[in-house]
């Protein structure tokens, strides 16, 4: 009977597979059904002989359930894998105690188990919907082609249909790129416990934090990010961690905040390790909403813990007050101390390099604090500093001469480590034998804390990262996002994958990289050679490397080198992250996507209209800079090793700005047709109207369901649709104009820093933060103009002052519906026309937009004269 039970369990587990407990509903696998769990439970406890109990357990541990779902004990609730159930753990321990088998065999299995698993999501329904939409769009283009010559009327009406067809052809092309990107959806499952069992000693890790303006990026936000990184879980190897902070503003306030943070870290980091604190950014852990101390990680809520919690909280509040008070005081009061003498004669954009060791783990204690180092690279007025890319390259060089870790993590100053085990998760993807030779970096998704309800500005990008993000992962890997990314140092130094033939695709092998490309510092060049050979560690202690660090942080160090061209982050674009990632992948490297639960990093999303639009403008400008440069994805595919589908994905991303032109024209077509009493869509009574109507209905219903699947509301879906139209008409359009001015040599692009917002006093977002705000920027003119044009067209329709239509060619219900939909999309601008202060559109913007809309109406009236003669 026992043997039959064993065979049954084997069939259930191996024959049917497992999802690791992550499935749910009717789609879950048989091995995860409750009755199967109950059957295994009964077999484990009722089998009379120990060997039978062991065999059943072996099926649970070594077959699909364990391989796909082991979580190292960090899971919880009904979703955890069967191998992590308490009764399975008890049974396993009992088997060891009974001596029924050799324990070394189980340890050997642990050593051989993969550090990560790939899960390919079944998306047959999504593919069917995507293909259906594509076929409908092609059908609409075919309808245009058939009707465009037979269409009766003047040449202006034919031109209207030609313009509509051109826009729809562009939309079809973009949709082909989208379908190609999300055809396969892939996610990774990582197993940090296996890493700790397999790896005797964790590798060194350098962590970079970049900040550029203490006014737009408050130092207390940067301090919390630094503290969360210093407290990450790195068992037995904390002395191998180093945190570098790049201050591009050379602000004594930033250095002051870091100095105070280092003292607080001596209390905070041991507290987090002792009680296994999960949230290791103090401003979140001690949020005003948490009036009572939360339970410690182990579930203990002892008086000792509560007493320490109160003490640590008081110390953090003291730190916060000191930083805020220093921000209010004049700089001279901060510079009075001797340690701030280096900042005495500095100016913004004109100062020597500054490198200071704020904290050093001198005893190299495994349970000590990571190194903390402050860097402000040299800046001079006549030297181009290349914005964030230049700061990152300076960080790479300084860290290369001081600690020279084989792996590097970079985050923005507001992206704190929310998951304390994130370094272990990322190393699972970098150290597994399957990925060790071809995975260049591990990118974590950008997620945000204190997000506004229903994402009124559509900038949290939840669905974009969940759907399209997983699609990109299945090709050659995700883009480098500029923050939350773990790099191999030797990849940043220009090395190629070991499986790439350097004689093909114009690639260079590691041996062909000239050391002269890295600069003139002899100490740095020695360590570069070690890094390229996968040998980590610096030769000297931190203080003895300060002179070399200052040398490589000077503004003239990069002259005559390949920094920014072939080595480090690539220059030439304000989106240096995308350009760098594409350059790396064009050499044959792949990238991986790490999205653990809880999220790896959390940052603050921009709020208000100006901040959101300016960020999108900067992104679209930088992406277009890459598209028109020599380092575009087409060239990387033809002359490099960038895969074709990955090239299509990059094209989809880089043409964000260009999409604004056809979308803006298509948004104006309904108003044009109403004013001229013509039409660009089939009449309601014509069967052909079902084609565009079906595209509109299917697309919107499916995107709504995607939002539901990501746990978002219908209001969040509508906010995303609304802000997508606003960003396209305003931010993306200005990105195109910026590139045109740069190409014509009239002006150059400028890197604009996004303002980082802090939580309100009660720890909750301000109720008015969800309202759309305006300023004097001309970026709001296109949206205001589109709205005024639509209102003018609808007013002319209601007043009956349209020109007479020829036959049945007048504007119809479809054009009116599209015009009303455009008004709904730009509803925040309609409210802005009536609003006041920052919630109202400035009068100058309204006057300029009114003038532009008047010109458009006059143009429509002029074209209608020839249209209906």
| Known binding positions for UDP-alpha-D-glucose | 217, 248
Chain centroid to Cα 488, Å, comes to 19
CA distances from 429 to 191, 192, 442, 597 (A): 9, 10, 7, 16
Residue 791, sorted as left (phi over 0), alpha (psi -120 to 50) or beta, turns out to be alpha
First vs last Cα of the chain: how many Å apart?
94
CA atoms within 13 A on the CB side of 548: 26
Tell me the C-alpha distance between 728 and 199, whole Å: 49
CA dihedral 596, 266, 256, 223 (to 10 degrees): 20
Q: Would you tell me the crossing angle of helices 813-825 and 827-834 to the nearest 10 degrees?
A: 60
Cβ atoms within 10 Å of 715's Cβ, excluding its own: 13
Largest CA distance in the chain: 99
**Residue 733 token pair:** 């359009």
Three-state SS for 830? helix
E strand or H helix at 223: helix 219-230
Contacts of 672 (CB under 8 A, 6+ apart): 160, 678, 793, 860
**Residue 566 token pair:** 């072939």
- Check if the beta carbon of residue 827 is closer than 8 Å to that of residue 456: no
Task: Give, in degrees to the nearest 5, the angle at Cα 601 between 598 and 603.
Answer: 125
Binding-site annotation, residues: 217, 248, 388, 412
Q: Of 604, 605, 614, 608, give the one whose Cα is nearest residue 771.
A: 608
Contacts of 529 (CB under 8 A, 6+ apart): 515
Task: Give, in degrees to the nearest 5, the angle at Cα 465 between 594 and 29.
Answer: 70
- Check if the beta carbon of residue 254 is closer than 8 Å to that of residue 211: yes
Q: Is 768 a catalytic residue?
A: no
CA distances from 545 to 374, 405, 469, 529, 662 (A): 14, 15, 41, 17, 55
Strands 205-211 and 241-247: parallel
Tell me the C-alpha distance between 581 and 575, whole Å: 10
Active-site hit among 154, 206, 455, 577: 577
Active-site hit among 233, 247, 248, 432: 248
Tell me the C-alpha distance between 223 and 256, whole Å: 10
Binding-site annotation, residues for Mn(2+): 388, 412
- Check if the beta carbon of residue 729 is closer than 8 Å to that of residue 783: yes
Cβ atoms within 10 Å of 522's Cβ, excluding its own: 10
Q: Of 485, 815, 772, give the one whose Cα is nearest residue 610.
A: 772
Q: Would you tell me the crossing angle of helices 50-62 and 34-46 to the nearest 10 degrees?
A: 150
Contacts of 334 (CB under 8 A, 6+ apart): 252, 253, 256, 326, 340, 343
Tell me the C-alpha distance between 594 and 444, whole Å: 5
Cβ atoms within 10 Å of 252's Cβ, excluding its own: 25
Tell me the C-alpha distance between 404 and 398, whole Å: 9
Q: Of 486, 492, 494, 498, give the one whose Cα is nearest residue 591.
A: 486
Tell me the C-alpha distance between 843 and 833, whole Å: 9
Chain centroid to Cα 224, Å, comes to 20
Tell me the C-alpha distance between 400 and 411, whole Å: 18
Q: Is 577 a catalytic residue?
A: yes
Sign of CA dihedral 515, 517, 523, 526: negative
Active site residues: 248, 577
């Amino acid at each position: 009977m026992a043997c039959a039970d064993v065979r049954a369990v084997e069939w259930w587990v191996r024959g049917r597979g497992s999802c690791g407990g992550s499935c749910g509903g009717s789609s879950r696998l048989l091995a995860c059904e409750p009755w199967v769990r109950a059957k295994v439970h009964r077999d484990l406890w009722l089998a009379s002989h120990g060997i039978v109990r062991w065999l059943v357990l072996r099926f649970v541990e070594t077959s699909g359930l364990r391989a796909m779902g082991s979580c190292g004990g960090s899971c919880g609730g009904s979703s955890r894998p069967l191998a992590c159930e308490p009764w399975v753990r008890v049974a396993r321990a009992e088997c060891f105690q009974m001596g029924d088998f050799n324990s070394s065999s189980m340890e050997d299995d642990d050593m051989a188990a993969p550090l990560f698993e790939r899960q390919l999501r079944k998306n047959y329904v999504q593919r069917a919907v995507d293909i259906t939409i594509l076929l409908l769009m092609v059908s609409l283009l075919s309808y245009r082609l058939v009707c465009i010559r037979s269409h009766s009327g003047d040449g202006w009406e034919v031109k209207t249909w030609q313009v509509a067809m051109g826009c729809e052809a562009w939309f079809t092309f973009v949709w082909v790129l989208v379908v190609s990107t999300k055809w396969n959806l892939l996610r990774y499952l990582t197993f940090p416990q296996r890493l700790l069992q397999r790896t005797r000693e964790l590798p060194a890790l350098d962590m970079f934090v970049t900040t550029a303006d203490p006014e737009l990026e408050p130092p207390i936000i940067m301090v919390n990010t630094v503290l969360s990184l210093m407290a990450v879980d790195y068992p037995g190897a904390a002395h191998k961690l180093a945190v570098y902070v790049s201050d591009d503003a050379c602000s004594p306030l930033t250095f002051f905040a870091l100095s105070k943070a280092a003292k607080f870290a001596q209390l905070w980091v041991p507290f987090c390790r002792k009680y296994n604190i999960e949230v290791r950014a103090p401003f979140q852990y001690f949020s005003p909403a948490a009036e009572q101390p939360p339970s410690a990680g182990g579930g203990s809520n002892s008086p000792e813990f509560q007493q320490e919690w109160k003490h640590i909280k008081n110390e953090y509040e003291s730190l916060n007050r000191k930083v805020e008070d220093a921000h209010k005081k004049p700089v001279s009061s901060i510079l009075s101390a001797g340690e701030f003498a280096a900042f005495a004669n500095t100016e913004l954009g004109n100062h020597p390099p500054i490198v200071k060791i704020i904290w050093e783990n001198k005893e190299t204690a495994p349970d000590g604090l990571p190194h903390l180092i402050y860097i402000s690279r040299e800046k001079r007025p006549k030297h181009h500093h290349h914005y964030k890319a230049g700061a990152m390259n300076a960080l790479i060089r300084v860290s290369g001469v001081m600690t020279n870790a084989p792996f590097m993590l970079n985050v923005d100053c507001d992206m704190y480590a929310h998951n304390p085990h994130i370094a272990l998760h990322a190393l699972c993807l970098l150290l597994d034998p399957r990925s060790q030779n071809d995975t260049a970096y591990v990118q974590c998704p950008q997620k945000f804390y204190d997000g506004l309800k229903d994402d009124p500005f559509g900038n949290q990008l939840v669905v974009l990262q969940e759907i399209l993000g997983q699609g990109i992962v299945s090709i050659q890997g995700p883009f480098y996002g500029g923050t939350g990314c773990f790099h191999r140092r030797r990849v940043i130094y220009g090395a190629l994958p070991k499986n790439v033939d350097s004689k093909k695709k114009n690639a260079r092998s590691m041996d062909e990289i000239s050391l002269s490309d890295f600069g003139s510092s002899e100490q740095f060049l020695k360590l570069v050679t070690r890094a390229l050979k996968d040998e980590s560690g610096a030769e000297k202690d931190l203080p003895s490397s300060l002179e070399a660090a200052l040398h490589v942080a000077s503004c003239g160090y990069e002259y005559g080198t390949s920094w920014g061209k072939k080595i480090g982050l690539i220059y030439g674009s304000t989106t240096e992250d995308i350009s760098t990632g594409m350059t790396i992948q064009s050499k044959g490297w792949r990238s991986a996507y790490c999205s653990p639960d809880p999220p790896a990093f959390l940052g603050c999303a921009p709020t208000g209209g100006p901040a959101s639009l300016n960020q999108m403008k900067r992104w679209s400008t930088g992406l277009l800079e890459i598209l028109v440069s020599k380092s575009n994805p087409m060239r990387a595919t033809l002359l490099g090793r960038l895969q074709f589908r990955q090239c299509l994905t990059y094209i989809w991303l880089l043409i964000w700005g260009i999409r604004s032109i056809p979308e803006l024209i298509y948004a104006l077509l309904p108003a044009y047709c109403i004013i001229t009493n013509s039409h660009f869509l089939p009449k309601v009574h014509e069967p052909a109207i079902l084609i565009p109507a079906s595209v509109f209905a299917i697309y919107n219903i499916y995107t709504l369901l995607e939002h539901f699947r990501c746990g978002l509301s219908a209001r969040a879906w509508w906010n995303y649709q609304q802000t997508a139209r606003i960003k396209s008409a305003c931010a993306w359009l200005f990105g195109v104009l910026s590139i045109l001015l740069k190409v014509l040599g009239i002006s150059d692009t400028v890197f604009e820093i996004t303002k980082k917002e802090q939580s309100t006093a009660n720890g909750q977002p301000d109720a008015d933060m969800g309202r759309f705000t305006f300023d004097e920027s001309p970026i709001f003119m296109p949206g205001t103009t589109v709205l005024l044009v639509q209102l003018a067209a609808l007013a002319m329709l209601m007043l009956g002052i349209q020109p007479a239509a020829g036959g049945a060619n007048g504007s119809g219900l479809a054009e009116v519906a599209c015009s009303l939909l455009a008004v709904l999309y730009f509803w925040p601008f309609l409210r802005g026309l009536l609003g006041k202060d920052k919630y109202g559109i400035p009068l100058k913007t309204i006057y300029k937009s009114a003038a532009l809309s008047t010109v458009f109406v006059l143009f429509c009236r002029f074209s209608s004269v020839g249209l209906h003669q």
